[in-house]
Structure formats: structure tokens, C-alpha cells
Structure 1
Amino acid sequence: MGRVTERRKVIRIRDGAVSARPDTLVAEEPLEIRLNGKPLAITMRTPGDDFALAAGFLVSEGVLGAADELRNIVYCAGATVDGSNTYNVVDVQTAPGVVIPDITLERNVYTTSSCGLCGKASLDAVRTTARWAIDDTGTSAGSAASAASAAGPMRLEPQLLAALPDRLRAAQRVFDRTGGLHAAALFSEDGELLDVREDVGRHNAVDKLVGRALQNDALPLSRTILMVSGRASFELAQKAVMAGIPVLAAVSAPSSLAVDLAAETGLTLVGFLRGSSMNIYAGDHRIALRTAASLG
């Protein structure tokens, strides 16, 4: 399997002094995802958790929704002289009887602003393939305390949200060595860290989280919070909705289409979550706004 980090020579200049030294960089390699033997998508990713990444990607595409729908995931032999495994191609095999839907949420359809797909088409694609409505009443994948609190609607204190970026940053092991990775973390409604994944692509980090949840038969991820280290794009909002996650929080800005999707599906979308400040773009019914003044 490929390495998460690699070493490269770098010329370093500090206060006018020049030196040569090795530097640790985050690895980036392509991963081809095949579905039942047929090529489906290629993504640039940091090697590691490749099976979870592939599974999570297929959750966001509306193909998988439960652990028993997944028969197997294997690495395929790559295009090498000896036919050996390059660990850059995975094949996802669905269980017998699983009906493969028309895949309308292809990654290359909407990852660039020049794709030509209008906002309404993107929103319609999510609406028609989402398996679960965003729900406040189910138990989460978290602690017993989270499950015990699941009797009523989800209600988050601003102070809890404000603490999440630091908790995410503290859990980023590879970032400390490279400074070049995005991260996504799943928290319970009590602020308990449930899982964290890092990747050169923020969407891959989320797929790895969701894929692990699928493999553990934990979908939908009701009563959880998805915290991401960058901006909240439409794609990340879509992945939250497809996994049944009710709250998406980001340290940076959301896109307009992400806000539209959140408003339509009932997703709570929080952006610019930095220190005691945050913007709530949709789903403010889950935030205890009466206590917001105490953050200042």
C-alpha cells in the first residue's frame, strides 16, 4: 500500500540563511474506483483507508446504504510490467440482489464551476437518491450518553460547536508532520469525537468517515456533527445529507449551492466556525441561540 507521507529535498531560507534539508510531504496518488468490475471514478487521494473511501463514495452516489449491500472490496492488479498490485485501483462488489441505481451524482459533474450543471439539477439529484430524511429522533453512533439524550430534538449549544475545531486539530496526526492535509471528524451531539480521517482532498476525508460507518453498519448517522477543516462545498453538504448527518460545520465559508441544499433538506449548516464566532446559514432550529451571547 502507498505511504501517507514522502520525503523530498527542500531549500530552506530562514532570516537570510540558506540550507538544504529533507521535508515531509503528504502523499498524493490517484485511486480508480470500480463498481462490479466496471470503472466508475478516479479521485486523487492520500493512500490509506482506500476501502472506506470507496464505500463512502458509493454512499454519496446513492449506490450503498447498508453493510449487507456490500459484498467485498478488493485491490486490483495495476498496469505494471509484472501485473502486480499497485494499490491504486479498487473494485467494489455489491451483494447479490442489490439494484444499482442510475448514478446521477457523478463526481466530475459538479466539482468545477464550469461543469454546466445548474443548481436545480444538483439539488434534484440529491433529493431523488437520498435514502434518509435528516432526522433528529434516531440514536447516534456515539456514546451511551448520546443515545440516552435521543428522546427529544437535537439541540446544540454554541459553546459546544465552538470547541470542535480545536478538537479536530488536536486529532490530526499527519497534519502535524506535513501541514498539507484536510480533515473531517464525526462528533456526537455531546461533543464526543467518534472518528477522524485525513486526506489531501476534503471530500475524500468525508468519504472515509462515511465508508467506515457503512462498514460498521452505522448508517444513517443520525444525531451527529460532521466537522470539516476547510470550506463547506455543495459536495460536502451532499455527502452529509446522503449519510443522514444532521449538522455540518466548517471553519471556512460555504458555497451558495451548499446553503440551498441545506435549507431544502433540513441540514444545519455552520460556517466560519472560529473561536467564539460562527455563521449559521441553515437549520438554526438545532442551535440554542439563546445562549449565544455568553460566547462573547
Structure 2
Amino acid sequence: MSHTRRRPGSTVRVRVREVDGTQVRYRDDVVATEEPLEIRVAWPGQPPRSLVVTMRTPGSDFELAAGFLRSEGLLQSPDQVVRIAYCTDPTLSSEQLYNVVTVDLAAPLVNPPAARYAAATAACGVCGKESLDELELRGCQPVLAGPVVDAAMLCALPDRLRAAQDVFSRTGGLHAAGLFSPDGELLCAREDIGRHNAVDKVVGWAFLDGRLPLSGCVLVTSGRAGYEIGQKALAAGIPLVAAVGAPSSLAVDLAERFGMTLVGFLRGERFVTYTHPERIESPRQSTPASETIAELS
């Protein structure tokens, strides 16, 4: 079978009809690419087996695969990974090229993937409070104390992440996740049509580079913070997660149980801390002049 398809990019050019009041015009536009990615795993004596299919924006696919496996507790060390590559199965159609990734492992998985891995969308997550008990049974531990960050520095991070969102600036259609140092340096930023995929790409980058646990880092995400964001941050050992949008109740429960600081509505100079506020240094409040005079008199 001849495989001639070019690797899909992060954007696709389309022709649109734009209406603005009584004005109508036709023009070219750019939209974010959304295509499926099938993640397969294999090890000696075991042929590749399909693990999950997720809708994603092409780019950093190997990091996405590694991050997903790490976030699901299937990998503990990058030494387990022999290689990650696009599948060369001759039965694949040209449309499937670059949409199937195989992770070759050095040894069998200790906990083989269960049947619950089937298909994932760009907004999927695991639901139910029993999921918190599952994380403990899987061996997830509370995060380390981590750093204390300045409130003003924290407020500056969404703009720094936005500045690194090249595809979003062209399409307006992607989420992003950014990993920052305690002093606000951007260490890694990834974009994807699914916010949880963006986090997996960041976690995969750190995992493959031997940086886990990320106990000295801050994770900032666009959009809301649901359970799946907290789960992936916990798997990477991130002590502070901040989202531009609102958190879910289960995300708050997860953060509280595992000692994570969870921040929501991080916009401008305002944010809301839902759990473990001790990691954020409160802004200094200026003393009104009348009170100062009263104290001196």
C-alpha cells in the first residue's frame, strides 16, 4: 500500500462567509486541526495493542502518548520506554498515517491497561468520587511542600502563557498548559484542542526528560480545571495548579486530599484559592495614612 500522506499540521486553511451587520464578505481563515490519535503499547512478546483514541491537535504526539501513560499510572520511569514512533503497520490507510503512535516498552506493564480505555474526546475525563480512592490505590501520594510563590508573579503567568500560544493567536481555538518555575520562568508550553491533552504534552515532555516529580513548579492552564487536570498534575508531582477558568467540585476534592494548591479565575490581578493557600504569599496591603497617623499620635 502506498503511503503518501503528509504529516498533518496544527492548523487548516478554510474558506468562510463572514457577516458583520449588513456587510457580507468571503475570505480565507485558519482553524485549529482536530484529528484522532490512537495510542498503542507493545513490549517483548506482546504485539502492539490499542490503548486509547483521543481527539487532539497534531504536534508533540510522542509527548502526549508518554504523558497519558504516566498520568494513568502505567509508567513510572522513562527507562521503561524503548522508543516512541508513528506506527508503520502496512494495513493502515493513508488517512491513518501520523495518527497512530506506538510506545515500545522494555518490559510488560505491571498493571496492564483495563477495558475502560476505549475512546476519549477532547473534553473527556474520569467521573465519580470513587476516582479519588482509585488514585490512592494506584499509589499516588500527596505532593511535596513545594515553593511559596508571590501573588503578583502568579497573576502575570496567564499573559506569559498566552504570549507562547502561537497557534491560538492564529486560530483562537486552542487550549494551553504552561509549566513555570517559582520565579515565573516559562519552562514548557504546549497547545491542544483538548485542555487535558495540553497537560499530557507538558507532563510527557517532563517525563521523557527525566524531570519528574515537578515538585518545584507551577502549572497554569487555560479554561476550567476539572478532575482530569488535577489527576495529571498529581501524577507529575506538581504542587500548585492555576486555571484561568473555574474548577470543578471533584478537582477541589482531589487537590484537598492530596495536598495541592488549586487556584481558579486567575485573571488580571484577581484569583481565587480553593485549597492549601499557604503556597501563595499574600500581597502586601498598604496601610491607610489615617491609620499611620493614629498609630504615631
In structure 1, what residue type is equivalent to 2:206?
Answer: A
Larger radius of gyration between Structure 1 and Structure 2: 2
When the two structures are superposed, what TM-score results if normalisation uses the length of structure 2? 0.85
Structure-2 change in CA distance of 1:207 and 1:82 (3 Å)? closer
* Letter aligned with residue 68 of structure 2: F
C-alpha distance in 1, partners of 2:53/2:94?
Answer: 20
Q: Select 2:171's aligned residue among 157, 168, 178.
A: 178
What residue is the counterpart of 2:230 in the other structure? 237
For 1:199 and 1:214, the matched residues in 2 are separated by: 18
What one-letter code is carried by the residue in structure 2 that aligns with 1:118? G
Identity of aligned residues (%): 49
The answer to whether the Cα contact below 8 Å between 2:37 and 2:101 also exists between their aligned partners in 1 is: yes
How far is 1:15 from its partner? 3.9
Task: Give, as a single letter, the amino acid of the residue that structure 1 aligns with 2:132.
Answer: L
Hey, what's the Cα distance between the residues in 2 that align with 1:129 and 1:210? 18
Kindly tell me the number of residue pairs found equivalent between the two proteins: 274
Structure 1 residue 96, shift from structure 2 partner: 2.7
CA distance in 2, matches of 1:124, 1:108: 23
Counterpart of 1:262 in structure 2 is 255
Q: CA deviation at 1:274?
A: 0.7
Match for residue 225 of structure 1 among 183, 201, 218: 218
Per the TM alignment, residue 87 of structure 1 is displaced from its structure 2 partner at its CA by 0.7
Paired with 1:292 and 1:105, the residues of 2 have a C-alpha distance of 49
Structure 1's 248 and 108: CA in aligned 2 closer, same or farther, altered over 3 A? Answer: farther
The corresponding residue for 2:80 is: 69
2:241 equivalent among 235, 248, 253: 248
2:132 pairs with 1:123: yes
SS of equivalent to 2:62? helix
1:88 aligns with 2:99: yes
Alignment of 1:153-192 (within 5 A): 154-192=147-185
Q: How far, CA to CA, are the matches of 1:105 and 1:258 in structure 2?
A: 21
Cα displacement (A) at 1:103: 5.0
* Distance verdict in 2 for CA 1:112–1:281, change over 3 Å: same
Please state whether the residue corresponding to 1:87 is helix, strand or coil.
coil
Once the two structures are superposed, residues 80-105 of structure 1 have per-residue CA deviations (whole angstroms, 9 ceiling, x without a partner) of 77678611111111123653456598
How far is the alpha carbon of 1:75 from its aligned partner? 1.1
> 1:65 deviation in Å?
2.3
1:124-164 per-residue CA deviation (whole Å, 9 max, x = no partner) reads 1122224554113xxxxxxxxxxxxxxxx521111111111
Return structure 1 stretches of 4+ with deviation > 4 angstroms. Answer: 78-85, 101-113
CA separation of 1:78 and 1:109: change in aligned 2, threshold 3 A: closer
Q: Any conservation in 1 of the 2:141–2:258 contact (CA below 8 Å)?
A: no
* Distance verdict in 2 for CA 1:83–1:254, change over 3 Å: closer
Shift of 1:214: 1.1
| Structure 1 runs not aligned, ≥5 long | 137-152
TM-score between the two structures when normalised by the length of structure 1: 0.85
* Whole-angstrom CA distance in 2 between matches of 1:82 and 1:293: 63
Identify if the C-alpha distance between structure 1 residues 72 and 131 changes in structure 2 by more than 3 Å, giving closer, same or farther: farther
Q: 1:41-120 residue pairs with structure 2 within 5 A?
A: 41-77=52-88, 86-96=97-107, 99-101=110-112, 106=117, 118-119=128-129
2:28 pairs with 1:35: no
